[in-house]
Amino acid sequence: MAAADPLASAPPTATAVAVIDLAAVAANFRDLAARHGAPVAGVVKADAYGLSAARVAPVLAAERAAMLFTAGFDEAAALSGVVPKNLPRAVLDGLAPGTEADFVAQNLLPVLNDLGQVERWAAHSRALGRRLPCLLHLDTGMARLGLDAAETARLAEDASPLRGLDVRYVMTHLACADEPGHPLNDLQRRRFAEACARLPKMPRSFANSSGIFLGPDYRSELARPGAAAYGINPTPGSPNPMRPVVALHARIMQVRTIAAGDSVGYGASFVASRPSRIATAAIGYADGFPRALSARATAALDGTEFPLVGRVSMDLTTFDVTGLPEGAVRPGGFVALIDAAHDADALAARANTIGYEILTGLSRRAHRVWLPA
Ligand SMILES: *Cc1c(COP(=O)(O)O)cnc(C)c1O
């Protein structure tokens, strides 16, 4: 695919441009389902990791996602009318007090994260005379959300609150799935199996993206991959098995020549050691290009890399293009900050963060172009 095509279609006023390949999202999701060998849900929280839930969710629905997960209620409600009515949408944040009727009205499934939520959802079910759908979340080592070991034990002793509910899945979440050798993986797997054995029989939901790559011991009736569908490497340290989804480009505003000894940008943190050509690109931390990348990232033009110099500012970032043929970088043209060769994970590593934060951090000021599935 010629990277120039979507950029040519961007309006001339567009500065930072993110190109999101929905066909790659579809291919990645199919690949994850095949690897899991059992049904797979789509995770579209945080606006589908910044890529637009409204655009991504229908693609995952078409690829037969068995369920969609969001973090918050509003995110899930916003997908009403965007995906088929019969595709269940579940809210990981759970059942906030007083929202029971809202969940029913919006046809959403709460992920029940503590016994209080279980009891409130069961009471609401009784009041309506219906077994309301939900998921049950057991904490097996994340210590974030979900019934802790004591609550799980209480529920195992008296499972009567579950009787009035339609628990579609009992789920847990891995803390260290991206580190295959970490002992917590196996410990969580055993805790989950033991807890499930003590509770009424329910379908299980276990692996996230990286969990799918831990192998068949981590298979369940429903995996919940998010990041890998969006091209983030689920196997850090090994080559990325997923297709790249996101490219990020920035438009060049000016190119100037500076003398040896001249400084660039805030804090004069870069001082040229030789006469240099500096290209100023219209992207900054307000676009979600982290300031932590100051003096640490590279950009590319037709595969040739060149360094970011000086500080990333709110709207602008400067690059040393002295090594490129004169005229190669021109005002109005684009340089690539994320591409197949330098993906979101690689950029993230330079900023001491993870690809997840780069994607979810892309601001809405960056113009987004979606290549069709
Ligand atoms: C975010 C999340 C996922 C998806 O995780 P990825 O690492 O993006 O695949 C799955 N389950 C839960 C509970 C989550 O919070």
pLDDT value of position 6 = 84
Question: In what order do the strands lie in the sheet containing 89-91?
Answer: 42-43, 68-70, 89-91, 109-112, 132-137, 165-171, 204-205
User: Is any atom of ligand 1 closer than 6 Å to the C-beta of 94?
Assistant: no
Q: Which of 312, 315, 329 has the alpha carbon at shortest distance from 265?
A: 312
pLDDT value of position 2 = 44
Question: Distance, CA 108 to ligand 1 centroid (Å)?
Answer: 18
pLDDT value of position 3 = 46
Query: Dihedral angle at the C-alpha atoms of 301, 304, 309, 314, nearest 10 degrees?
Result: 30
The catalytic residues are 45, 266
pLDDT value of position 203 = 98
Handedness of CA 25, 46, 174, 116 (dihedral sign): negative
Residue with tokens 């070991």: 149
Q: What stretches in the chain show pLDDT beneath 50?
A: 1-4
Question: Distance, CA 71 to ligand 1 centroid (Å)?
Answer: 9
pTM, 2 dp:
0.96
Task: State the chain's mean pLDDT as an integer.
Answer: 97
Pocket test residue of 137, 170, 224, 242 for ligand 1, highest count of atoms within 8 A of CB: 224
For 4-131, list the strands marked E by DSSP: 16-21, 42-43, 68-70, 89-91, 109-112
Q: What are the tens digits of pLDDT across the range 145-194?
A: 999 999 999 999 999 999 999 999 999 999 999 999 999 999 999 999 99
Q: Indicate which atom in ligand 1 lies nearest the CA of residue 71.
A: 15
Return d(Cα 152, Cα 188) in angstroms, integer.
14
pLDDT value of position 294 = 97
pLDDT value of position 8 = 85
pLDDT value of position 87 = 98
